[in-house]
Structure 1
Amino acid sequence: MTDLKILAISGSLRANSHNTALLHAARKLNPGGMEIEVYEGLREIPPYDFDLDTPDARPAVVQDLRDRITAADGLLIATPEFNYSVSGVLKNAIDWVSTDWTKAEGLPLQHKPTAILGAAPTNMGSVRAQLALRQVFVWTHNDVVVKPEVIVFRSHERFDAEGNLTDEITAGLLQDLLVALRDKITAARTQG
């Protein structure tokens, strides 16, 4: 069996983002059976524009993300928390990939197995952002992993200066989340 293709998206554009570091840690902690690609094009995605959201007019970077999501077996989304919610750039990207106004392309997010995690320097971590993202994914019909929840609070204490995850509890939860995502994808294939 070939490895499952996982597209990992960080909702942070910051160079030293703990959320992006979490995705790189996921690649290192991969329990096997998955190929995890960290998406790096979020900065290039323009603001959502309904007038351009057609197969012929859609920006190439948006179409590329839609194609990557469609080709992926599952998604791994790391969300920071901004104003008690997800970052604008992450929500914007989701808006671009959640539509099919032509009724001919399909919906890239629909039934896509998805795992959510997040980091923030506060005592609450990204708990509210993850709740907001889960609510968005109800509308898009993603098949979201429910547990374990990976909410990295006081994230500045869990990574070293080079951005390596140093907290063993977080590492264990991250591995458990990857196993749960892998199991969800495998179960969906068996049922489908």
Structure 2
Amino acid sequence: MSVRILALVGSLRAGSHNRQLAEAAVKHAPEGVEIELFEGLGSVPFYNEDIDVAGSVPAEAVALRDAAGRADAFLLFSPEYNGTIPAVLKNGIDWLSRPFGAGAFSGKPTAVLGTAFGQYGGVWAQDETRKSVGIAGAKVLADVKLSIPGSIRRFAETHPADDAEVVEKLVELLAQVTAEAKATA
């Protein structure tokens, strides 16, 4: 069975270390696993029930929902902005949580990971992301974690895909997500 995983990155910055971590996940995905790095999260308008009506849902939100609908599991890459989840990632979660009780996350394995400048690697934001996506209906893999501290120094000259320790931990995480996706299929 092949597994499709959708990756959402909560940083829009060019050269984002979280984006690079997502690229590393794509590069080191196990055989039979396709990880789609969703492009365009920053173009999805803020969630508003007034525009979430059949026939008027913005094309960017439709594209996000379509990609999520094809996914067997999710990887959410969250940096930490002022101690919490970035707005762009929270907005993506909000769009995918609808319709209530039957959103794209419903019952699908979801892991939250990331890197940040601070000494804890963004754990506060990642915990908030787990909370939000869990309320949105995902099967949050609470014990499947990867928080990489000191991103600015650690990845100053090394892409996460070339950092042996990061790759080892990422491969373990991907194996766990893949196993959960197969178990829930």
Does the Cα contact within 8 Å between 1:158 and 1:167 map onto a contact in 2?
no
Shift of 1:155: 1.2
Task: Describe the superposition over 1:129-156 as per-residue Cα deviations: whole angstroms up to 9, x where unpaired.
Answer: 0110111122112012223310010012
Select 2:103's aligned residue among 93, 107, 115: 107
Q: Which residue of 2 aligns with 1:116?
A: 112
Runs of 4+ with >4 A deviation: none
Q: Which residue of 1 aligns with 2:4?
A: 5
1:22 counterpart = 2:21: yes
Task: Describe the superposition over 1:106-132 as per-residue Cα deviations: whole angstroms up to 9, x where unpaired.
Answer: 311111111111110111111000110
CA 1:127/1:164 → structure 2, altered by over 3 Å: closer, same or farther? Answer: closer
Does the Cα contact within 8 Å between 1:159 and 1:166 map onto a contact in 2?
no
CA 1:64/1:169 → structure 2, altered by over 3 Å: closer, same or farther? Answer: same
**What's the % identity of the aligned pairs?**
37
Task: Describe the superposition over 1:142-175 as per-residue Cα deviations: whole angstroms up to 9, x where unpaired.
Answer: 0122233100100123325473444322221111
| Count of equivalent residues | 185
CA 1:149/1:164 → structure 2, altered by over 3 Å: closer, same or farther? Answer: closer
Q: Which residue of 2 aligns with 1:67?
A: 66
Q: Which runs of 5+ in 2 are unaligned?
A: none
**1:90-105 aligned within 5 A:** 90-100=89-99
**SS of residue in 2 equivalent to 1:93:** helix
Take 1:8 and 1:160, find their aligned partners in 2: how far apart are those partners?
23
**SS of residue in 2 equivalent to 1:51:** coil
What CA RMSD, in Å, does the superposition of the two structures yield over aligned residues? 1.6
Select 2:138's aligned residue among 114, 139, 142: 142
Q: Which residue of 2 aligns with 1:171?
A: 167
Shift of 1:31: 2.3
Take 2:163 and 2:62, find their aligned partners in 1: how far apart are those partners?
37
TM norm structure 1: 0.90
Q: Which residue of 2 aligns with 1:45?
A: 44
**SS of residue in 1 equivalent to 2:98:** coil
Does the Cα contact within 8 Å between 1:148 and 1:173 map onto a contact in 2?
no
Q: Which residue of 2 aligns with 1:180?
A: 176
Deviates more, 1:175-184 or 1:143-152: 143-152
Task: Describe the superposition over 1:17-57 as per-residue Cα deviations: whole angstroms up to 9, x where unpaired.
Answer: 01000010011211222011111111111112120112221
Does the Cα contact within 8 Å between 2:108 and 2:184 map onto a contact in 1?
no
Take 1:58 and 1:120, find their aligned partners in 2: how far apart are those partners?
33
CA 1:45/1:173 → structure 2, altered by over 3 Å: closer, same or farther? Answer: same
Structure 2 counterpart of 1:68, one-letter code: A
Take 1:43 and 1:137, find their aligned partners in 2: how far apart are those partners?
18
Take 1:96 and 1:141, find their aligned partners in 2: how far apart are those partners?
12
Take 2:162 and 2:156, find their aligned partners in 1: how far apart are those partners?
7
